[in-house]
Amino acid sequence: MFKSSMIVENLKNIHQRIASACLRVGRNPEEVTLIAVTKTYSEQSIRDVVDAGVIDIGENYVQELRQKHAEVRDDRIRWHFIGHLQSNKIKYIADWIHLIHTVDSLTLGQQISKWAEKIGRTMDILVEVNTTKEESKFGAAIELAPSLVKDLAMLRGLNVKGLMTMGPFLPDPEDSRPSFRMLRELKESLESEGVRLPILSMGMTNDFEVAINEGATMLRIGTAIFGSRIKT
């Protein structure tokens, strides 16, 4: 089977699973945006998934993202940055990035704000929260997240649109539920104080249905669309 038809098949399946997961909890599937995570996959995979109707593309590495952005050159695409962002790399993506999911410090937010002012655009960001307390993970500590969100919201040129997290990478998707619930509760608590945070970016191939169940509005999915990243 051609790679492109495999992608179409996989997407059909994922859209069905998103729809059923939404139905089970009385949510509208239109509230949920599917981001195709294309790290390590080719430019052609990006073109295929866009042709199949998914225009939100997520990448983890600035270098790879820049290259693919330059090569694919498709104005329909909304590019999402979902990896760890170093301040000195912001300039390479600042002009065209749609949403940065991984702001986890005030320093990084200040640098993004500086670039936003310099180029005269507003940058939409999410605050990444470490909900598993694993040392290996990035993201602001859950205890510090509320004040970080409020501090970032004060910066010029920066629009804090919501929160992002990753589950614990365990085989049972239910093991991600505490993380996702924690993120939703943080959003609700901040919103009760008047901070608007419409986006919850959570859920990957292994746990996206649980994420929908807990209120995800953006899913970041790679493997289920493109197949395993492990190269032989």
Ligand X SMILES: *Cc1c(COP(=O)(O)O)cnc(C)c1O
- Taking the complex as a whole, the smallest distance from the CB of residue 148 to ligand X amounts, in Å, to 19
H-run or E-run covering 48: helix 43-51
Give yes or no for residue 223 binding ligand X (CB under 6 A): yes
- Taking the complex as a whole, the smallest distance from the CB of residue 118 to ligand X amounts, in Å, to 27
Q: Which of 185, 187, 165 is nearest to 176 (CA)?
A: 165
Residues 7, 14, 21, 37: which binds ligand X (CB under 6 A)?
37
Which residues from 160-179 bind ligand X, rule CB under 6 A? 166
Tell me whether strands 33-37 and 56-59 are parallel, antiparallel or unpaired. parallel
Which residues from 70-109 bind ligand X, rule CB under 6 A? 82
Residues 21, 36, 57, 204: which binds ligand X (CB under 6 A)?
204
Tell me whether strands 140-141 and 78-81 are parallel, antiparallel or unpaired. unpaired
Contact map string, positions 55 to 74, toward ligand X, x by CB under 6 A: -----x--------------
- Taking the complex as a whole, the smallest distance from the CB of residue 100 to ligand X amounts, in Å, to 12
Contact 128, 164 (CB under 8 A): yes
Q: Angle CA(173)–CA(201)–CA(217) in degrees, nearest 5?
A: 95
Q: Which of 98, 44, 80 is nearest to 226 (CA)?
A: 44
How many Cβ atoms sit within 10 Å of the Cβ of residue 68? 22
Q: Which CB atom, from 138 or from 157, has the smaller least distance to ligand X?
A: 138
- Taking the complex as a whole, the smallest distance from the CB of residue 161 to ligand X amounts, in Å, to 17
Task: Name the site residues for ligand X (rule: CB under 6 A).
Answer: 37, 39, 60, 82, 166, 204-206, 220-224
